[in-house]
Structure 1
Amino acid sequence: MIDIKGITKSFGSLQVLKGIDLHINKGEVVSIVGPSGAGKTTLLQILGTLDKADSGSVIVDGIDTGKLSRNKLSEFRNRHLGFVFQFHQLLPEFTAIENIMIPANIAGIKTKEAKARAEELLEFMGLSDRADHKPNELSGGEKQRVAVARALINNPAVILADEPSGSLDSKNKEELHKLFFELRDKFGQTFVIVTHDETLATLTDRTIHLKDGLIQNEQKAENQ
């Protein structure tokens, strides 16, 4: 599913990633943990094609992202990757269902088809009655569930999440974490999650520990 080989990245004289090799299987929920400055978010951004590595390769679903032109890279990102951020990043002027439909609209999917898919996702999230509400009318947990639905709209190969539960209270954190595993179990969805949340990290199939730009160790869940 995902093959990362020899990834390095520097910002000026500071080398943030020093040679990362990592394989992630389809349907796997993987967390990336480590102290601030370890390179977690940089690695996630390179995997998400939002930044380029200085050297190495990132292959997702058999596609070498480093060989794509800028236009093809944008198309690849839209169709193969879903993103969930700490602060949901919903557009305030649009309703929940309109926010969810945005990636599908960008992909050129017909409005009727995109809306049907968005309604299906809202139902799965337990948010059908919130479809026409704007972000300022939603709770923090509801906003993040809408953001997850938006990430899923184009049936991506992998969802990349950067501190997805970082802004939530304990109840909503627990519900969001449960949702990730429901999506994996029902749809075979692959997740790569950067997190400081130790509870979430212990739940994932595998935890990648980064330190000083290198993978220090990998830890499988106890039930693996």
Structure 2
Amino acid sequence: MVEGRNIQKQYGDLKVLKGIDLKIDRGEIVTILGSSGAGKTTLLQILGSLDKPTGGDVFINGTNVSTLRGNQLARFRNGHIGFVFQFHQLLPEFTAIENCMLPGLIARKSEKDSKERALKLLNYLGLSDRLEHKPAELSGGEKQRVAVARALVNDPLVVFADEPSGNLDSRNQDELMDLFVDLRKQFNQTFVIVTHDQHLADKADRTVHIVDGVIVD
């Protein structure tokens, strides 16, 4: 469902990715594990269409996203890809439900439909009593769950998560990974998660290890 073919990334003389081949199936939870500077975040950004490879191609559900440009790429990303980041990236002036609704509104869905979907997800994630709270009024774990709900609001094919537990304590780290597992069971959701935490990686279906820009066994 997600496939990278011979993915390369180079900045000047620095080769960050040196020919990555990777396939991820629908409903699979895959962690990308590696030390700082190994290339794991660069790979995630390329697979998630946030960056272009120097060489190679990325396919999501049969679409070569490496060839998409401008508004076409933006529409594909908004409609089919979700993102969860370490520092949540919630808009501080908006409430939890407003933050969650935004991708739906950007996709030009009605306010009613966007709100209904956001309510369903936030309720499912145990945030029914925090809907009108702004990010500054939420705990770290609550903010990350709002970010997860926002990533899911357009029913994406895949969610890419970049160190999603890096800003959480150990209890919330475990809860977040358990949440990903539950969402896969409930919605057959696909997750690709960058982490440096072996404990989290152990809960995934499969772990991809990157060392110096290549995948190693």
TM-score range, shorter chain: over 0.9
Residues 13-32 of structure 1 mapped to structure 2, 5 A cutoff: 13-32=13-32
Identity, in percent, stands at: 62
Q: Please name the residue that 2:137 is paired with.
A: 137
TM-superposition CA deviations, 1:66-98 (whole Å, max 9, x none): 221211001111011000000101000000000
Q: Match for 2:93: what amino acid?
A: E
Q: Please name the residue that 2:9 is paired with.
A: 9
Paired residue secondary structure (1:203): coil
TM-score, structure 1 as length reference = 0.96
Q: In 2, Cα distance between the equivalents of 1:69 and 1:84? A: 23
Q: In 1, Cα distance between the equivalents of 2:162 and 2:68? A: 24
Unpaired runs of 5+ residues, structure 2, are none
TM-superposition CA deviations, 1:166-200 (whole Å, max 9, x none): 00011111111110000001100000000011111
Does 62-71 or 181-190 show the bigger shift? 62-71
Residues 114-193 of structure 1 mapped to structure 2, 5 A cutoff: 114-193=114-193
Q: In 2, Cα distance between the equivalents of 1:160 and 1:100? A: 16
Residues 1-224 of structure 1 mapped to structure 2, 5 A cutoff: 1-217=1-217
Q: Match for 1:204: what amino acid?
A: A
Q: In 1, Cα distance between the equivalents of 2:141 and 2:3? A: 32
Q: Match for 2:119: what amino acid?
A: E
Paired residue secondary structure (2:129): helix
TM-superposition CA deviations, 1:184-219 (whole Å, max 9, x none): 0110000000001111101100000000110012xx
Paired residue secondary structure (2:202): helix
Q: In 2, Cα distance between the equivalents of 1:177 and 1:2? A: 21
> 1:50: Cα distance to partner?
0.8
Q: Please name the residue that 1:221 is paired with.
A: none
For the aligned residue pairs, the C-alpha RMSD in angstroms reads 0.6
Q: In 2, Cα distance between the equivalents of 1:50 and 1:177? A: 23
Q: In 2, Cα distance between the equivalents of 1:129 and 1:89? A: 21
Unpaired runs of 5+ residues, structure 1, are 218-224
Q: In 2, Cα distance between the equivalents of 1:125 and 1:26? A: 22
Q: Match for 2:156: what amino acid?
A: P
Q: Match for 1:135: what amino acid?
A: P
Paired residue secondary structure (1:143): helix
Q: Match for 1:133: what amino acid?
A: H
Q: Please name the residue that 1:222 is paired with.
A: none
> 1:63: Cα distance to partner?
0.6
Paired residue secondary structure (2:192): strand
Q: Which runs of 4+ in 1 moved over 6 A?
A: none
Q: Match for 2:55: what amino acid?
A: S
> 1:100: Cα distance to partner?
0.2
Q: Match for 1:120: what amino acid?
A: K
TM-superposition CA deviations, 1:104-138 (whole Å, max 9, x none): 11000000000000000011001011000000111
Q: In 2, Cα distance between the equivalents of 1:69 and 1:32? A: 26
Paired residue secondary structure (2:93): coil
